[in-house]
Amino acid sequence: MKNLEEAEEFFEEKYQKDPEFKETWDEMELQYHLAREIIKRRSELGLTQKELAERIGTEQSVISRIENGHNCNLETINKIAKSLNSKPRIHFEAI
């Protein structure tokens, strides 16, 4: 879990100092948030990417791409959540 915390600190600092990074981050924040949540829950359960992939009937490379911020559909999100003994929640915040 320490690596995830270090990564979050790195991104927060970069976000504050680099306008180009900030713009890109703002555009991709939802994907990155989803990726962090999957990594966090998978780590809590002690699962590897390969084990998670096997649970949902896909390849490890698919999980890797999702955890690296690539898009995935709601069906895949639901499969991942179920396999992690979780359920996804979506809400809107005023900006």
Q: Regarding the domain with residue range 2-83, which homologous superfamily does it belong to in the CATH classification?
A: lambda repressor-like DNA-binding domains (1.10.260.40)
CB atoms closer than 10 angstroms to residue 27: 9
- Per-residue pLDDT tens for 20-53? 888 887 888 889 889 999 999 999 999 999 999 9
Q: What is the pLDDT of residue 2?
A: 62
DSSP per-residue letters across 47-70: --HHHHHHHHTS-HHHHHHHHTT-
Instruction: Give the residue, 20 or 79, on which the prediction is more confident.
Output: 79
CB atoms closer than 10 angstroms to residue 12: 11
